[in-house]
Amino acid sequence: MELTIAIETHGCKLNQADSEEMARRFNDEGYRLVDIEDGPDVIVVNSCTVTHVADAKARQAQVGKAQESGFSGRI
């Protein structure tokens, strides 16, 4: 069974480059990259935050978005 993954990126160009590298590595391991709306098995949130409060808010926003779409996998 092919596992699917969605990578949600927030932040600077470095974050975007990191997400592209993660996508390549997941692809090399047999994962297929999809959109969150497609119901992936795994969601990776790549976010750049300065404080733990901002980090928690960013995570919570993604969890809410995933739950709204019916996602029941791992974030």
pLDDT tens, residue by residue, 4-58: 999 988 777 888 999 999 999 999 999 999 998 888 888 898 877 767 777 777 7
| 3-state SS class at 54 | helix
Q: Is 20 left (phi over 0), alpha (psi -120 to 50) or beta?
A: alpha
pTM: 0.70
